[in-house]
């Protein structure tokens, strides 16, 4: 009788151990699959997320237009022979920004526990100029210069005039730069949430730091 009880207890222990073993195997398989799929990560793997290459992929979103301005200007109108034939007033929308594919990111050690994520901004530039053809208002020096095809040569001249004027406006580029900094912070800060020891540093090509 006691032998039967002992054997029964042994069978129960074996069953419990078998169940525990199966649970451990299943749990190990789930963790393995999760890590393969990137669903869950341990502490060490969390650190590997913050790498320059992965951050560059987040930030490289082609051209980023960070500031737009409506520009009303008057351009000198030049004929095919290079002769000045009058002036043309126009309205244009100019977009200023940067090519985010040229952004560079590095992760630099400050000490054993702290790192700087250094984002270096590419040059701020005009990324698009759209002249409204319906806004063109011509003032010819001679009536003979007025023709149905005048807009073909007038549009690129107006576009160039708008870009020249905007390129000389440093305030326009500074506003675009500030917007770019805010955009980068909005993209990177969520990635650093909960990551201790990481500090975002944003610089331009000249090494100027932006808070």
Residue 175 confidence (pLDDT) above 60: yes
Task: Report the alpha-carbon distance of residue 50 to residue 204 in Å, rounded.
Answer: 21
Residue 163, classified by CB atoms within 10 Å of its CB into exposed (0-12), middle (13-18) or buried (19+), is middle
User: Average pLDDT for residues 193-201, to the nearest whole number?
Assistant: 82
Q: Where are the beta strands (DSSP E) in the chain?
A: 63-78, 84-99, 104-109, 115-120, 125-131, 137-140, 198-203, 209-210
CB atoms within 10 A of CB 60: 14
Residue 6 confidence (pLDDT) above 70: no
What is residue 43's predicted lDDT score, i.e. its pLDDT? Answer: 44
Residue 87's pLDDT band, with cuts at 50, 70 and 90, is: very high
User: Average pLDDT for residues 2-25, to the nearest whole number?
Assistant: 54
Cβ-contact 82, 157 below 8 angstroms: no
What is residue 130's predicted lDDT score, i.e. its pLDDT? Answer: 94
What is residue 51's predicted lDDT score, i.e. its pLDDT? Answer: 66
112-140: pLDDT as tens digits: 788 888 888 888 899 899 999 999 999 99
Percent of the chain scoring above 70 in pLDDT: 70
Pairing between β-strand 115-120 and β-strand 137-140 as defined by DSSP bridges: unpaired
| Unique residue bearing structure tokens 């005048």 | 150
**pTM for the complete prediction?**
0.63
């Amino acid at each position: 009788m006691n032998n039967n009880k002992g054997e029964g207890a042994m069978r129960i222990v074996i069953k419990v151990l078998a169940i525990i073993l199966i649970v451990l195997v299943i749990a190990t398989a789930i963790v393995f699959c999760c890590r393969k799929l990137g669903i869950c990560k341990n502490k060490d793997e969390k650190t590997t997320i913050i790498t320059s290459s992965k951050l560059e992929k987040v930030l490289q979103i082609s051209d980023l237009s960070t500031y737009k301005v409506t520009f009303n200007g008057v351009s000198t109108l030049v004929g095919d022979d290079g002769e000045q034939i009058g002036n043309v007033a126009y309205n244009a929308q100019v977009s200023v920004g940067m090519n985010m594919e040229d952004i560079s990111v590095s992760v630099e050690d400050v000490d054993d526990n702290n790192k700087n994520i250094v984002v270096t901004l590419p040059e701020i530039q005009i990324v698009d100029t759209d002249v409204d053809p319906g806004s063109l208002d011509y003032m010819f020096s001679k009536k003979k210069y007025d023709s149905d095809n005048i807009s073909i040569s007038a549009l690129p001249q107006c576009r160039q005039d708008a870009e020249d004027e905007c390129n000389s406006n440093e305030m326009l580029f500074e506003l675009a730069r500030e917007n770019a900094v805010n955009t980068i912070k909005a993209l990177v800060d969520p990635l650093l949430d909960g990551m201790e020891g990481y500090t975002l540093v944003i610089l331009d090509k000249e090494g100027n730091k932006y808070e």
